[in-house]
Amino acid sequence: MTTRPTALITGASSGIGAELARLFAGDSHDLVLVARRARPLEDLSAELRERHDVTVRVFARDLSEPASVPDLWNELLAARVQVDVLVNNAGVGLYGPVWEQDADALDRMVRLNVGALTTFTRLALPGMVSRHSGKILNLASVVGYQPAGPRMAAYYATKAYVLSFSKGLAMELKGSGVTVTALSPGVTASAFEERSGASGTRLYRWVPAMSAKAVALAGYRGMKRKKTVVIPGIIAKLFSLAGELPPRRIALAVNRWLLSAGRSQR
Ligand SMILES: NC(=O)c1ccc[n+]([C@@H]2O[C@H](COP(=O)([O-])OP(=O)(O)OC[C@H]3O[C@@H](n4cnc5c(N)ncnc54)[C@H](OP(=O)(O)O)[C@@H]3O)[C@@H](O)[C@H]2O)c1
């Protein structure tokens, strides 16, 4: 019987989530990997099993579907899989004025970035608390520290939720043996920029990107050290600090400017 802890990682098919999976596997964790695309999950699973001799379970699921999280959790319970570490990493962005955004895509983003993360956390906590042991790593963002993000208003609001939820939860769980870490990266090289439609903005054109690998490592180390907040890199640290400095209308104006369409967009 294996004595390795199990980490469930959402959004493990690319970017930061895939790099986190490599770190957990390298540190002798069995894995439950979740995302919509089966192929990259299977490829990663094969890589990790070969390199690290760990057990990897793959679930190709759309976590923006309301029943997907409880359904998956029940499958794990039925298979007697105990989740020792929960990594709520899956997330998408959506660029453009809210009234022009596709209503379904907007709903799905909120259900994924906020809903799935909250439900997974709620379902994982009773077991962790009763065992006096467990870790939750939530992917927030430096945008969660900003007053708001015109043209990415809903996305910024979802990350403010993740940050606030994680900080509040970390305090609720003090002394329980369960820790919560909110990882808040700045601009990170991944598929996110292209998929969110934000590539042409000053933010993505001008601000240097960190690698997904470096971001994942900072988050992994911060989680191990039981830190509540982790902001990787000096640029992200300055950006998050500037977002909170009063008067916050200055930061709001800067965010509006950074998110306005750049030269590559009309
Ligand atoms: N890149 C940045 O600049 C940046 C900065 C700050 C914070 N973040 C946050 O970091 C996290 C990871 O993003 P990333 O940069 O690594 O981008 P990414 O490479 O696009 O990764 C996003 C992951 O989420 C999964 N995903 C998307 N929609 C899903 C759904 N409906 N159901 C299940 N899984 C879904 C994707 O897999 P499938 O497509 O296979 O489903 C993918 O594995 C996100 O929460 C993002 O908000 C990113």
Q: Quick one: pLDDT at residue 35? A: 98
**Is 88 within the bounds of a domain?**
yes
**Residue 64 Cα: closest atom of ligand 1:** 31
% residues pLDDT > 70 (the chain):
97
Mean pLDDT, the chain, whole residue set: 96
**Is 264 within the bounds of a domain?**
no
> Would the pLDDT of 266 be above 80?
no
Marked catalytic residue, from 95, 145, 155, 156: 155
The sign one gets for the Cα dihedral 230, 236, 241, 244 is negative
Section 180-196 average pLDDT: 96
- Cβ–ligand 1 distance for 254 under 6 Å, the answer no
**Is 247 within the bounds of a domain?**
yes
Section 215-232 average pLDDT: 98
Nearest to 130 by CA among 182, 190, 176: 176
| Residue 222 exposure: Cα atoms within 13 Å on the Cβ side | 25
- Cβ–ligand 1 distance for 13 under 6 Å, the answer yes
Count of other CB atoms within 10 angstroms of residue 118: 17
Residue span of the structural domain in which 51 resides = 6-258
Q: Quick one: pLDDT at residue 217? A: 98
Q: Quick one: pLDDT at residue 264? A: 42
**Is 148 within the bounds of a domain?**
yes
Helix (H) or strand (E) holding 258: helix 248-258
What's the pTM? 0.97
**Is 263 within the bounds of a domain?**
no
- Cβ–ligand 1 distance for 212 under 6 Å, the answer yes
**Is 94 within the bounds of a domain?**
yes
Edge-to-edge strands, sheet with 229-230 = 56-60, 30-35, 6-10, 85-88, 134-139, 178-183, 229-230
**Is 265 within the bounds of a domain?**
no
Q: Quick one: pLDDT at residue 261? A: 76
Q: Quick one: pLDDT at residue 129? A: 98
> Would the pLDDT of 2 be above 80?
no
The total number of structural domains in the chain stands at: 1
Pocket test for ligand 1, best of 10, 13, 193 (most atoms within 8 A of CB): 13
Pocket test for ligand 1, best of 44, 45, 89 (most atoms within 8 A of CB): 89
> Would the pLDDT of 1 be above 90?
no
**Is 146 within the bounds of a domain?**
yes
Q: How far is ligand 1, taken at its centre, from the CA of residue 241, in Å? A: 24
> Given pLDDT bands bounded at 50, 70 and 90, which one contains residue 265?
very low
Q: Quick one: pLDDT at residue 3? A: 85
> Would the pLDDT of 34 be above 60?
yes
Q: How far is ligand 1, taken at its centre, from the CA of residue 159, in Å? A: 13
Pocket test for ligand 1, best of 145, 192, 237, 239 (most atoms within 8 A of CB): 192
Q: Domain holding 222: CATH number?
A: 3.40.50.720
pLDDT, tens only, 109-160:
999 999 999 999 999 999 999 999 999 999 999 999 999 999 999 999 999 9
Q: Whose CA is nearest to atom 46 of ligand 1?
A: 91
pLDDT, tens only, 65-109:
999 999 999 999 999 999 999 999 999 999 999 999 999 999 999
What is the number of helices (H) and of strands (E) in the chain? 11, 9
> Given pLDDT bands bounded at 50, 70 and 90, which one contains residue 255?
very high
